[in-house]
Each structure stands twice: as structure tokens, then as C-alpha cells.
């Protein structure tokens, strides 16, 4: 293993030179060795001339997978190809600050025994209602965890550094969705638990991530994140807890209760209850967004669709795996030991609204 060396591992599908070339040419601290490992998970890609030149000269190590292996296996390929003391994972579409490598080296020199570091991955300012909904729903919050925490159990691989000695034989698991979702929670959490330590947050090591799909509405990514959360549940049972039903689970419970419901109420009232579940969620989401300064009514609508996409991914993965015992279960993604049941003011408000609605349907 090389002393004072950092492997920079970049999995890529697009090989977009407008993002990659600035990463290759980042200013580098003296006295440190940097090796780039670019793993292309797209066998049909045609590398540009400059990337081919850099690969031929040995300035980068370029690997093109013969088939689509997925994000986890591509990162593992980069890990196994290198031998540096430290491994910096970067996404292929970020714009890093010029001093990002200096900031990571500064962190290493200050904390040489650390298991690794979480950099700051910012997003541009919200550009439309959908990106404001993403922000209000908290779906970008883990990217900016370094702004709020000194240490944490995991961070996104868009901008995160690992100590090879702490990782040892652990690798990203291929059980998670190929396009990513859950594997960047699983591996660092395992490293933390094994080493009884946490990753140090380095907000000065900053990069900017563009809005996915140019900020246009899309939901598959967040469904995939839900799939990843479902796959984490059996791997970290000690950090799971039961929750109030989310809209997807609530709709299922109302559908399953239809025969019993019709014994006491008309089908029209049952339909009202069925329709009320997403509507109540939209209202509460809008109130949350309004409190954060996002005033468009459509924000609550997008937040609900985003949440339901995530929750549908969670639910379908649990059912497909034949693990109905995980229905209504959640995982503490900060990996603190939870109570058996958790609530907050929004869940309490929602429960009160549901109880009032059911009472109204029964007595009116």
C-alpha cells in the first residue's frame, strides 16, 4: 500500500468530458500521490479523445465493463484496482471546488486515524416547484449532512472518502438496485459498527451536484431509494422501529378493511376515506413546505408524489422478498437505537385528522 496516496474512484455511465476533465485536472497538494480509476458501466460508450489520451498516458486508469454491473460492483472494481491509503469516491456529474483535494488532505493530516470523511455535496438553488418540493421533502438533506453534523454514519458517494485500512475486505453490496440506492448507506454503516467510529464531516471539501433530470419531475429514483431502505431493514434489525402507516400503507389497509367497513358504513363513505388519505397528506406536506418558505400549492402535490414513490419502493420490495413482518417498519438512518414506536408532531396531527374523519363518517 502506497504511503500518502489517494485513489479517486469515479463510476460513470455517460463519460461526459465537461464534468470529468475538470475532476482529472483538480489542483493537487504536493507530497501526495493521486490515482484516478474511472469505471465505465456502459459497454456501448465511446470515450472522447481526451479521455483516451489520458488513459493511454497513464494519467487515469480507464475500465469499461463488458456488461452493466451496477453502481456497487463498479465502485468495488475501482477499490480492488487501487492500493492507496485513502479512497475518494466522486460522481461523474459533480463540479468540485478547486481546493477539494487540499481540504481532504488537510482533514487526513488532522485525523490520520479516521475511518473516512464525508464531504459537502451542495445543490444549486431550487429552480422550480419540483426542486423546491425535493428540498422541502428532505430528499437532498443527506447530501448536505456535512453542513449540519461534525460526524455521521454515512454519506453519499457523490463526494466521500474512505480509509482503506478501516474498510478492509468490506465492499458495496450488489443486493441493492443497480442504479444505486441503499448501498451507500450499508457499507459505511458496517465500517462504523466494525470500527466503533464515525465518519468525520468536512464541509470545506465541497462539490455541487446538478439537479437530476434538469429539475424536471421524475419519481423512479426515489422509488429506488425506497427499495434500498427496504433491503437495509433485515441487515440492521437493531435499528428498526414501527411507524404510523404512510399513505401507501394506509391505502392498502383501507382496501383490505373494505368488507368489515361495509358492515357499518356505506361504500360512499369508504370511498371518501380512501380519497382522503392522499389529500390529507398533500395538505400536511403543503403546510410543512409553507413553513419553509415554499408557497406554491403544487409543492404539496409534488411532495406527496415523491413520498409515495419512495414508500411504494419500500412496500413492494418488502412484499417481493416475502417479508411481511417488516410491514410498517422503518430504519433509523442515523443508526441510533430507536424506541419501538416513534412519532412526531406531523404524525400526531395526521392521526388526529384521521380519527376526526372516521368519527364524522360514522356519526354523520
Is the same domain home to 214 and 240? no
Residue after which a domain boundary falls, among 172, 190, 218:
218
**Confidence check: pLDDT of 279 > 50:** yes
In a domain, 287, yes or no: yes
In a domain, 142, yes or no: yes
In a domain, 111, yes or no: yes
**Confidence check: pLDDT of 233 > 60:** yes
In a domain, 228, yes or no: no
Is the same domain home to 178 and 271? no
pLDDT of residue 220: 96
Is the same domain home to 176 and 292? no
In a domain, 226, yes or no: no
In a domain, 285, yes or no: yes
In a domain, 145, yes or no: yes
Is the same domain home to 238 and 353? yes
**Confidence check: pLDDT of 346 > 90:** no
In a domain, 224, yes or no: no
pLDDT of residue 363: 77
DSSP secondary structure, 148-185, as one string: T-SEES---TTEEEEEHHHHTT----TTS-TT-SSHHH
Q: What is the pLDDT of residues 106-127, one digit of tens each?
A: 999 999 999 999 999 999 999 9
Name the 3-class secondary structure at 297.
helix
Is the same domain home to 197 and 250? no
Q: Can you give the CATH number for the domain in which 189 is found? A: 3.90.550.10
pTM of the model: 0.92
* Domain housing 270: 233-363
Is the same domain home to 191 and 283? no
Domain count, the chain: 2
Amino acid at each position: 500500500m502506497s504511503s500518502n496516496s489517494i485513489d479517486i474512484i469515479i463510476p460513470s455511465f455517460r463519460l461526459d468530458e465537461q464534468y470529468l476533465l475538470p475532476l482529472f485536472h483538480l489542483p493537487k497538494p504536493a507530497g501526495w500521490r493521486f490515482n484516478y480509476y474511472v469505471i465505465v458501466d456502459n459497454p456501448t460508450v465511446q470515450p472522447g479523445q481526451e479521455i483516451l489520451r489520458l488513459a493511454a498516458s497513464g494519467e487515469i486508469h480507464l475500465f469499461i465493463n463488458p456488461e452493466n454491473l451496477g453502481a456497487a460492483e463498479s465502485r468495488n472494481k475501482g477499490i480492488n484496482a487501487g492500493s492507496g491509503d485513502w479512497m475518494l469516491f466522486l460522481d461523474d456529474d459533480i463540479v468540485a471546488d478547486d481546493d477539494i483535494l487540499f481540504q481532504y488532505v488537510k482533514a487526513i493530516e488532522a485525523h490520520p486515524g479516521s475511518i473516512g470523511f464525508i464531504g459537502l455535496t451542495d445543490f444549486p438553488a431550487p429552480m422550480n416547484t419540483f426542486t423546491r418540493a425535493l428540498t422541502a421533502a428532505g430528499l437532498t438533506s443527506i447530501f448536505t449532512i456535512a453542513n449540519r453534523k461534525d460526524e455521521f454514519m454515512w454519506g453519499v458517494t457523490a463526494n466521500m472518502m474512505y480509509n482503506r485500512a478501516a474498510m478492509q475486505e468490506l465492499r458495496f453490496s450488489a443486493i441493492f438496485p443497480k442504479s444505486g440506492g441503499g448501498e451507500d448507506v450499508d457499507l459505511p454503516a458496517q465500517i462504523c459498527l466494525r470500527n466503533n467510529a464515525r465518519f468525520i464531516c468536512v464541509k470545506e471539501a465541497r462539490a455541487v451536484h446538478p439537479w437530476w433530470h434538469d429539475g424536471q419531475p421524475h419519481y423512479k429514483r426515489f422509488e429506488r431509494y425506497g427499495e434500498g431502505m427496504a433491503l437495509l431493514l433485515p441487515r440492521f434489525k437493531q435499528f428498526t422501529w414501527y411507524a404510523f402507516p404512510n399513505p401507501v400503507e394506509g391505502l392498502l389497509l383501507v382496501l383490505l378493511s373494505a368488507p368489515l367497513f361495509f358492515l357499518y358504513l356505506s361504500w360512499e363513505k369508504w370511498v371518501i376515506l380512501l380519497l382522503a388519505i392522499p389529500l390529507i397528506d398533500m395538505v400536511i406536506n403543503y403546510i410543512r413546505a409553507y413553513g419553509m418558505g415554499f408557497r406554491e400549492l403544487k409543492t404539496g402535490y409534488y411532495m406527496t408524489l415523491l413520498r409515495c414513490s419512495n414508500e411504494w419502493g419500500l412496500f413492494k420490495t418488502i412484499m417481493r422478498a416475502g417479508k411481511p413482518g417488516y410491514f410498517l417498519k422503518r430504519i433509523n438512518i442515523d443508526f441510533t437505537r430507536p424506541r419501538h414506536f416513534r412519532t412526531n408532531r406531523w404524525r400526531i396531527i395526521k392521526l388526529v385528522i384521521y380519527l376526526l374523519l372516521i368519527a364524522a363518517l360514522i356519526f354523520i
